[in-house]
Structure 1
Amino acid sequence: MGRRPRPPDFDAREHLLDVAIALFSERGIANTTVAQIAAASGVTSAMVHYWFQTREKLLDAVVEEKLAVAFGAIWAPVDTEHGEPLALTQGIVQRMFDVTEKMPWLPSLWLREIINEGGLLRERAFRHIPLQKVAAFAQNIARSRASGELNPQLEPLLVFNSILALVILPQATAKIWQRVNPGFSFDRATLERHVVGLLMHGMSGKPAQAAAAPARRAKRKTS
């Protein structure tokens, strides 16, 4: 039986890249061979080498053609000078979910190969993270905290870390938690509602002030 015909607009290189990324996110880069990528793609190992020459160039393509695009989609619209902090935060969350919806492999790959110490994409990815925008976002949070607009207990430099953890970790570990609770839904609407609810209420200055009042009353009673 011959191979199924490819559509006229089939992009062999893009297909190989997509298959490689899916395997990297599932097994880890170190545990994925060129032969496995070729077999999953329905081609020979020689074809993988034809398009990417070396394993290093394949990893460069993953970062430059996929991860860098994801970073840009999340951060390019952020206007840290004029944006209201809660709106900026909600926009980052929404775009991060947009990206992971288009790239469902991203959460697992992020944990395996970027966050994890020794991850094989860490240094490559770091060069493409828009650090100036991340820092400017933290400065926006700091200004709003100082003005009383946001919860005074916030640590501005950790806000984006919190967003990243809330969006990425549940998606990366969804299969584990679905085994624990098979009836729970990890669909985007559920996760996004949860993340936005936590962030908007946790970051807002009003709930923090309201929560502080009972604590102050309790302290007066014990003194």
Structure 2
Amino acid sequence: MSSVTKPRRGRPPGRPSAQPDGVDQRARLIEIALGLYARFGYAGTTLAAIAREAGMTPAAVHYYFKTREQLFEEVHAAHIVPMRKHVESIFQAYAGDPATAFVKVAERFVDVAEEHSWIAPIFFGDLLTDENSFRQHMKKQVDYKMQEAFHARIREWQAEGKLHADLDAALIMPSIMSLTMLLMAARRKWKDDPMRKHVDRETIRRHAMALLGHGLGPVKA
């Protein structure tokens, strides 16, 4: 009696099987995306790139995230929204002292950049290249009415003499991000730079606090 070879059964339809390590695939893919953001920014982090890094097919990644925008929306909700709420709480706590509030915000940005190495590359990547995919995506996430209200409040603080009159309301937060997050990202490039290899997290924090707190002039007695 000849043996009959049964046809191999394919994987049943539905959710792709989990990796052998048991890590939830969705969370795993997001972590891989964050690592790619840190190396290549938002523009360089496609679903195909995530699939290659994860050792999966693009179709398998597509099961979890239809587009990279959808993936980033989860990153935005999990990381950027809480950061913004924290910043808002700082201004609420120091409503009568905006100069101190901005210094506290800068200190928080140093901590955020330390915790999330991907955040500076995605925020500054578009600014340093002709790529605008991240900027276009973020337009959907920004509450421009709230942002304009904040700029109006800055101008009120200036009129009240609580902030320097020459500051531009639209440039304060980008300037603070550059002074903190951008430098935190740049320090990885300075390991072999004889002039800046000493720069670490505490150096950047101290520098930002001094520059924002006292400007470039000597400390007044």
CA distance in 1, matches of 2:84, 2:128: 15
> What letter matches 2:97 in structure 1?
E
Relative distance call for 1:65 and 1:138 in structure 2 (3 A) is: same
- Residue 21 of structure 2 corresponds to 6
Q: TM-score under structure 2 normalisation?
A: 0.71
**Which of the residues 189, 193, 214 maps onto 1:176?**
189
Query: Is residue 66 of structure 2 the alignment partner of residue 49 of structure 1?
Result: no
Relative distance call for 1:47 and 1:77 in structure 2 (3 A) is: farther
CA distance in 1, matches of 2:65, 2:163: 48
Q: How many Å apart are 1:187 and its aligned residue?
A: 2.5
Relative distance call for 1:18 and 1:114 in structure 2 (3 A) is: farther
Number of aligned residue pairs: 203
- Residue 40 of structure 1 corresponds to 53
CA distance in 1, matches of 2:172, 2:30: 33
> What letter matches 2:86 in structure 1?
A
> What letter matches 1:122 in structure 2?
R
Give the secondary-structure state (helix, strand or coil) at the position aligned to 1:104: coil
Q: TM-score under structure 1 normalisation?
A: 0.71
C-alpha contact 1:68 1:125 (8 A) present in aligned 2: no
- Residue 16 of structure 1 corresponds to 29
Give the secondary-structure state (helix, strand or coil) at the position aligned to 2:71: helix
C-alpha contact 1:16 1:37 (8 A) present in aligned 2: yes
C-alpha contact 2:38 2:117 (8 A) present in aligned 1: no
C-alpha contact 2:38 2:122 (8 A) present in aligned 1: yes
Give the secondary-structure state (helix, strand or coil) at the position aligned to 1:26: helix
Name the stretch that deviates more: 192-201 or 30-39: 30-39
- Residue 138 of structure 2 corresponds to 125
Name the stretch that deviates more: 22-31 or 12-21: 22-31
CA distance in 1, matches of 2:21, 2:108: 33
CA distance in 2, matches of 1:34, 1:149: 47
**Which of the residues 167, 172, 186 maps onto 1:159?**
172
- Residue 102 of structure 2 corresponds to 89
C-alpha contact 2:47 2:67 (8 A) present in aligned 1: no
**Which of the residues 174, 196, 205 maps onto 1:192?**
205
Relative distance call for 1:120 and 1:71 in structure 2 (3 A) is: farther
Relative distance call for 1:147 and 1:190 in structure 2 (3 A) is: same
CA distance in 2, matches of 1:34, 1:52: 8
- Residue 6 of structure 2 corresponds to none
- Residue 100 of structure 1 corresponds to 113
C-alpha contact 1:107 1:169 (8 A) present in aligned 2: yes
C-alpha contact 2:120 2:181 (8 A) present in aligned 1: yes
Q: How many Å apart are 1:87 and its aligned residue?
A: 2.0
- Higher-Rg structure is 2
**Structure 1: gaps (5+ residues):** 211-223
C-alpha contact 1:80 1:140 (8 A) present in aligned 2: no
CA distance in 1, matches of 2:188, 2:50: 23
Deviations along 1:168-215, one digit per CA (max 9) or x if unpaired, are: 221232233333237623422211111111001129xxx69x7xxxxx
